[in-house]
């Protein structure tokens, strides 16, 4: 069976309820290494998909290890969320904090070390929708709607390419 990819996660994210908007970030983020932007009652999340089928994944505050080998994925996810936060804050005219989320596709195992409060959210991809749905509300419906409008604008993320200036939604 073929390993799921970010497209499989995109299909899963479409099952989120109407409180959520999912944008395909690989269409517009360019220098930010993320696959999806999810906006909902718990905030804004930059979701990075990592295909690690059949591997042992271990995560702490600073590193994601695959079969014991360190990767830059925690650093990269934080960097992308920080850059997205800066861009969204500038567009909104107020502080906005994007949360990095790493979705690991079909790991043999996923284990954790270090301080949970300091770790980047890292989940098996098949649990991302459930986790997002169960997050505590931090934004009003009006705040979510405003954030969606700004996140959908290509100009928020930099110079728009030729064509539409508004992003297509996945959900």
Question: In Å, how far from its chain's centre is CA 84?
Answer: 11
Phi, psi of 80 (to 5 degrees): -65, -45
| Joined tokens for residue 81 | 């969320």
pLDDT tens-digit profile of 5-50? 778 898 999 999 999 999 987 656 666 778 899 999 999 999 998 8
Task: Give the pLDDT band of residue 1 (cuts 50, 70, 90).
Answer: very low
Segment 78-94 mean pLDDT: 94
Q: Considering only 34-48, 56-70, 84-98, 156-170, which range has the smallest mean pLDDT?
A: 156-170
Q: How open is the CA angle 47-63-90, to the nearest 5 degrees? A: 45
Between 4 and 10, the more confident residue is 10
Per-residue pLDDT, 52 = 72
Residues contacting residue 65 through CB under 8 Å, at least 6 positions apart: 57, 58, 59, 71
pTM of the model: 0.88
Task: Give the pLDDT band of residue 170 (cuts 50, 70, 90).
Answer: low
pLDDT tens-digit profile of 93-146? 999 999 999 999 989 999 999 999 999 999 999 999 999 999 999 999 999 999
Residue 135 in 3-state DSSP? coil
Half-sphere exposure of 33 (CA within 13 A, CB side): 12
Segment 47-66 mean pLDDT: 90
Segment 66-74 mean pLDDT: 94
The strand pair at 64-66 and 21-24 is best described as unpaired
Per-residue pLDDT, 7 = 83
Cα separation, 96 vs 98, in Å, equals: 7
Q: Where are the domains of the chain?
A: 6-153
Residues recorded for the chain: 171
Nearest residue to 132 (alpha-carbon basis) of 37, 8, 58, 5:
37
């Amino acid at each position: 069976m073929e390993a799921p990819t970010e497209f499989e996660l995109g299909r899963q994210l479409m099952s989120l309820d109407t409180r959520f908007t999912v944008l395909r970030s690989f269409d517009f983020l360019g220098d930010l290494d993320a696959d999806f932007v999810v906006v909902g009652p718990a905030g804004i999340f930059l979701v990075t998909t990592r295909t690690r089928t059949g591997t042992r994944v271990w995560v702490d505050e600073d590193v994601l290890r695959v079969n014991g080998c360190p990767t830059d994925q925690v650093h990269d996810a934080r960097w992308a969320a920080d850059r997205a936060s800066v861009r969204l804050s500038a567009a909104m005219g107020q502080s906005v904090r994007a949360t990095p989320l790493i979705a690991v596709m079909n790991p043999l195992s996923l284990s954790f070390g270090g301080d949970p409060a300091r770790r980047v959210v890292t989940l098996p991809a098949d649990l991302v929708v459930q986790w997002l749905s169960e997050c505590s509300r931090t934004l009003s419906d009006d705040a979510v709607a405003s954030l969606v409008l700004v996140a959908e604008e290509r100009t928020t993320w930099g110079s728009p390419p030729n064509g539409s200036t508004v992003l297509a939604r996945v959900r």
